[in-house]
Amino acid sequence: MLNEEQLLKRITANPKIFGGKAIIRGRRLAVEHILGMLTAGDTTETILEGYPWLQREDIQACLAYAHKLVENDWIEPVPVDTET
């Protein structure tokens, strides 16, 4: 099992690929695409079947990358009107 630092080394950026967006191991697959698939309910197994070169650790790396992006963010709660 890879630690977070090792996972994050799998995420790269190349200005010639997707305008420099985060990609997986220099390939033409954006981190945001994998995160979108997971959000849509795709399983790790389904994603790995669709991209035979992809490794389970690459998907973990996408999640680690997303975590790093938001770990220090603070979103102000939106007040909810409960009197309806």
Domains and CATH numbers, the chain: 4-70 (1.10.10.10)
* Amino acid 84: pLDDT: 60
Sequence letter at residue 53: W
Structure tokens at 70: 């938001």
Mean pLDDT of 18-33: 96
pTM over 0.95: no
In this prediction, residue 34 carries a pLDDT of 98
Q: Where are the alpha helices (DSSP H) in the chain?
A: 4-8, 31-39, 44-50, 56-70
**Mean pLDDT, rounded, of the chain:** 93
